Chains A and B, each alone.
Chain A
Amino acid sequence: MAVGTPSSGYLERPKPSGLADVIEVILDKGLVIDAYVRVSLIGIEILTIDARIVIASVDTYLRFAEAVGRLNLAEADDSQGLPELMESMTSGGAKSKTSGALEAVKEKITGGDDDDDDGDDDEKKTPSRSRRSSGSSSGSSSSRRRKSS
């Protein structure tokens, strides 16, 4: 997903949120009323799929292993020598290659779209992307923090 280049001022003030930024909050938070009427929600399992389920899968382990294996450790050397500079110039693609494992998981959850508010792309999140409709994602995934002083 596209992330803007950090500039000195990008954290000056909060960025107004798009739907993609707040979707977890909308689905997970809010007042809960006990005696609700059940309605069918088409596609909700895609929106609520829990990242943790995916992360714990063998599939994901293999992707992490692959991503770690791909790292060019010579390049990671902290000394800012010339060989390193040349290496990073010639392997400009390394970053996009390794960003695969985590991003791939994320795309399954949000459809990968930064919200651009153009309502017409909603349908692409419906059933075909469903991976799992396990009920185990409904638990609260938050913990409350408060200073204990």
Chain B
Amino acid sequence: MADAEGNVYVYGVASAAERARLPDAGVAGAGVRIVEHDGLAALVSDLDSGTLVAAREVRAHWRVIEAAAASTTVLPVRFATVLAGDRAVVDQLLEPQADRLTELLRSLAGRVQLAVKGEYDEEVLLREIVRETPAVSALRERVSTRPEAASYYDRIRLGELVSGEIGRRRTRDQRMALAAFEGHAESIVANEPRSANGAFDLAFLVSRDKVDAFGAPVRALSEALGDRIRLRYLGPLPPYSFVDEQRAQGAPSWA
């Protein structure tokens, strides 16, 4: 079935013992199939072209992993990973990393990733910064009383100060958010917020049967944050954030 000579796109790795459900089509419309070795199953598609349109294929990649994760535990592989044929999937992924992958599959089985993202209400945040930062309110005053052309550097300085204050608040708010989830997750990854008004972006590894209980700290945090930060609570996701090196180095130190 496979053209063993062609390149293959790799979506993720699952246990060969549990049959992952595969969608009809993956990247570039190609079928999705499995390369099996030593109890591990890599989910792959044959790739004819050397060019992928990222916006379309990100979606395809995501759909394949979502579909498979609905029926089994999947270790997602980084987007746009292409190997030189089935042989390379075995020689460069499944064989050399067999122990680690097997252990990861074992430790992540029955667990999902939940995400809690905090987004600032920009107006509330800026008001707070003006109110609490004398340098900002003074400079704001000064800028407002001078013609635009004459205040160019003051405005840059003002924006820089504001930006710095936002950074400080991000640090503080992330710390507060992390504290709210202590004891509720097996592992936590704090990502740098990627959206511009992001306050924090946290990923939690949670046992599937604890997902319902996880709502309690989310709501408590939301109440504590008031209208400053709006929470988005997403999931369950495959454990994207928990498959890299650091996690593989040991069991979570708290639960």
Question: Which residues of A approach B to under 8 Å, CB–CB?
Answer: 3, 6, 11-17, 19, 21-44, 46-47, 50-52, 54-56, 58, 60-69, 71, 73, 76, 94-95, 98-99, 101-103, 105-106, 109-110, 119, 122-123, 125-126, 141-149
Contacts and interface: CB of A to CB of B under 8 A. Distances in A.
Interface of B: 7, 10, 12-13, 47, 50-59, 61-62, 75-84, 88, 92-93, 97, 101, 114-115, 119-120, 122-123, 126-127, 129-131, 136, 140, 143-144, 155-160, 162-163, 178, 182, 187-198, 201, 203, 211-212, 214-215, 218-219, 222, 230-237, 240-241, 243-244, 246, 252-254
A29 B78 contact: yes
A141 B194 CA distance: 9
A98 B13 CA distance: 45
B127 A22 contact: no
Contacts of A23: 58
Given A33-B83, A71-B123, 12 more contacts: A11-B219, A22-B62, A31-B12, A31-B75, A39-B82, A43-B54, A51-B195, A56-B163, A61-B156, A103-B122, A109-B196, A142-B191
B253 A146 contact: yes
Contacts of B231: 11
A11 B127 contact: no
Contact of A14 (B196, B211, B253): B211
7 contacts: A3-B119, A29-B241, A32-B77, A37-B7, A41-B80, A68-B158, A141-B191
